[in-house]
């Protein structure tokens, strides 16, 4: 029976939009070489290559990018799902950015990726300290969660979820990270999956996959984390032969 490990990237393997910690990178590369690993990210492949070394990406069995609208294996495209978003939806995102009470803007507010849109009030050009400032403000004001609720009430054929510290992912209904489970089950119907992510709560972009795993089998494991350090600590229990045997047998 195959045991497969799935990992979100931002907030799970790295700090949001930052390169992976060098010490953790060495550990994680060894893990990828000895365990079947897939990456499942809302980011596109070029952004992932800014955060993860080529050796890690090459050691993974595959990369589900753009919230699983793309799958890459050995650097080759297995599939890509494209979508034309309606004008009124894009206008609603533009209005969200314009009407936000947050005072600062840094550009690149609506970014098209394969099969999805990523919208950010502060903008994806913001530096780390500005991202953290918006994240702290948003936790208090709940701007993103309020917009997500209004959005899905207005555009019932689409999904919206919080991604990373500053953005919201917009996808056609069903075009979310849960697609990774459906794809993997085609080749490994009996595989047992452990998924690590930092946005497992409703409204987070890891939630659809976490929910699908829980509904698919009680043998799958969903591992919520808040940082790469938590991921590292949990992986240490797996790589410890004695503790890992107990974990994988539970």
Q: How far apart (Å, rounded) are the C-alpha atoms in residues 130 and 127?
A: 5
In sequence order, which residues have a C-beta less than 8 Å from that of residue 236 and are 6 or more positions away? Answer: none
C-alpha pair distances (Å), 45 with each of 51, 69, 102, 142, 198 = 10, 11, 30, 29, 19
Q: Is 10 a catalytic residue?
A: yes
Beta bridge partners, 63, equal 39, 72
Collapsed DSSP state (helix, strand, coil) of residue 236: helix
Active site residue 157: no
**Which residue out of 8, 169, 198, 206 is catalytically annotated?**
8
User: 198 and 11 in contact (C-beta within 8 Å)?
Assistant: yes
Contact in structure between 25 and 48 (CB atoms under 8 Å): no
Tokens of 146: 């309020």
Active site members = 8, 10
């Amino acid at each position: 029976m195959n045991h497969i490990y799935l990992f979100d990237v931002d907030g799970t393997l790295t700090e949001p939009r930052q390169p992976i910690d060098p010490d953790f990178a060495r550990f994680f590369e060894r893990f990828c070489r000895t365990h079947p690993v897939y990456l499942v990210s809302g980011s596109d492949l070029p952004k992932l290559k800014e955060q993860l070394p080529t050796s890690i990406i090459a050691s993974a069995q595959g990369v589900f990018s753009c919230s699983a609208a793309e799958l890459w294996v050995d650097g080759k495209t297995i599939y890509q799902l494209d979508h034309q978003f309606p004008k009124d939806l894009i206008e609603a995102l533009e209005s969200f950015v314009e009407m936000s009470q947050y005072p600062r803007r840094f550009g690149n507010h609506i970014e098209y990726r394969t099969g999805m849109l990523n919208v950010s009030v502060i903008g994806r050009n913001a530096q780390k300290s500005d991202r953290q400032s918006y994240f702290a403000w948003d936790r208090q004001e709940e701007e993103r969660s309020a917009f997500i609720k209004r959005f899905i009430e207005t555009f019932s054929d689409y999904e919206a979820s919080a991604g990373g510290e500053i953005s919201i992912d917009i996808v056609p209904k069903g075009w979310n990270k849960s697609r990774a489970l459906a794809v993997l089950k085609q080749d490994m119907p009996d595989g047992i999956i452990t998924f690590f992510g930092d946005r497992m709560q409703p409204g987070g972009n890891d939630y659809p996959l976490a929910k699908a795993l829980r509904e698919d089998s009680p043998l799958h494991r969903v591992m919520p984390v808040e940082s790469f350090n938590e991921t590292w600590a949990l992986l240490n229990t797996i790589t410890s032969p004695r503790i890992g045997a107990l974990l994988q047998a539970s």
